[in-house]
Amino acid sequence: MTLLDVRGLDISVAGRTLVRSLDLSVSSGSVTALLGRNGAGKTLTLHTLCGLRAAEKGSISVAGQSLAQWPRKELARKLGLLAQTTEDPFPSTVMETALIGRHPHIDFWQWESDIDRSIAGTALEAVDLAGFAARDISTLSGGERRRAAIATLLAQDPELFLLDEPINHLDPPHQLDALRLFRARADAGRAVIMSLHDAGLAARFSDQAVLLFGDGDWLCGPTREILTETNIGRLYGVAVREVSWEGGRTFVAV
């Protein structure tokens, strides 16, 4: 099933066209990696795909319906965004923060149910924060706060996860845990689009890749075909070499 269909999408900022005529199709069961230099338009692309900003041109459909036609609450059940940074303007516990993800599933003026609390608790367990539920969110480290944000999105349980640098602030074990977690969600029938800087991790966990060159140009296709020494070297402006081993590959600058 096609969850997201993008046709002829233009994304601009400050008079610069960062992405021109992007065509992208994302199906259930897939992981799409979004790569590019800083300022190439990865965050703006994700924000445009979820309706937080308007595209200059083109169309975006979610589950066969125009993005603009979705009521926001219903749309939040279809797709969810993990922002690159998170702010906590009000005091709250880690559990209360995770429960925010349940709001699209709760009727107006209703409180969270025991089922909602159970879902939020399971999400906290998934990111290794089971013992942190009663902690004030402001007492967490940067990496712990990132995991709490991931738990909030897991509690939301959308069909399409939009992840802006999901492993930002995470140590290597938790980076792999997070990527495996979202890979598992995709394998269970959800879909994931995630921006990354590590081409090796993109090669390991994604099915298709989108390379944004920041000047309007882009490449999109199966990960095995798109993530090559030539393409990655062009993307980042450095020479790279592919290093392969049984069951995987990565890329190193040379």
Residue 19 lies in a domain: yes
Q: Cα–Cα distance between 240 and 190 in angstroms, integer?
A: 33
Q: pLDDT, tens digit, for every residue of 190-230?
A: 999 999 999 999 999 999 999 999 999 999 999 999 999 99
Domain count within the chain: 1
- How confident is the model at residue 90, as a pLDDT? 85
Angle at 195 between CA 9 and CA 231, to 5 degrees: 80
pLDDT category, 23, cuts 50, 70, 90?
very high
How confident is the model over 81-101, as a mean pLDDT? 93
How confident is the model over 227-241, as a mean pLDDT? 96
- How confident is the model at residue 84, as a pLDDT? 94
Residue 89's CB: how many other CB atoms inside 10 A?
5
* Domain harbouring 20, CATH code: 3.40.50.300
Residue 96 lies in a domain: no
pLDDT category, 108, cuts 50, 70, 90?
confident
Residue 176 lies in a domain: yes
Look at residues 254, 176, 234 and name the one whose alpha carbon lies nearest to residue 243.
254
Host domain of residue 177? 2-87+158-253
Residue 131 lies in a domain: no
Say whether pLDDT at 233 is over 90: yes
- How confident is the model at residue 8, as a pLDDT? 98
The one-letter amino acid at 247: G
- How confident is the model at residue 155, as a pLDDT? 98
Residue 97 lies in a domain: no
Residue 112 lies in a domain: no
- How confident is the model at residue 109, as a pLDDT? 80
Q: Cα–Cα distance between 153 and 1 in angstroms, integer?
A: 22
pTM of the model: 0.96
- Find the range with the poorest average confidence among 10-14, 105-109, 165-169, 186-190: 105-109
Report residue 132 as tokens.
């942190």
- How confident is the model at residue 222, as a pLDDT? 98
Q: Cα–Cα distance between 159 and 62 in angstroms, integer?
A: 10
Say whether pLDDT at 189 is over 90: yes
pLDDT category, 64, cuts 50, 70, 90?
very high
Residue 217 lies in a domain: yes
pLDDT category, 26, cuts 50, 70, 90?
very high
- Cα distance from N-terminal residue to C-terminal residue, the chain: 41
Residue 244 lies in a domain: yes
**Mean pLDDT for the chain?**
95
Say whether pLDDT at 107 is over 90: no
DSSP string spanning 27-64?
A: ETT-EEEEEE-TTSSHHHHHHHHTTSS--SEEEEEETT
How confident is the model over 65-91, as a mean pLDDT? 93
All residues at 6 or more sequence positions from 96 whose CB lies less than 8 Å from its CB, including other chains:
137
- How confident is the model at residue 252, as a pLDDT? 92
- How confident is the model at residue 218, as a pLDDT? 98
Q: Cα–Cα distance between 201 and 106 in angstroms, integer?
A: 36
- How confident is the model at residue 88, as a pLDDT? 84
Look at residues 72, 197, 112, 98 and name the one whose alpha carbon lies nearest to residue 155.
98
pLDDT category, 178, cuts 50, 70, 90?
very high
214 near 204, Cβ under 8 Å? no
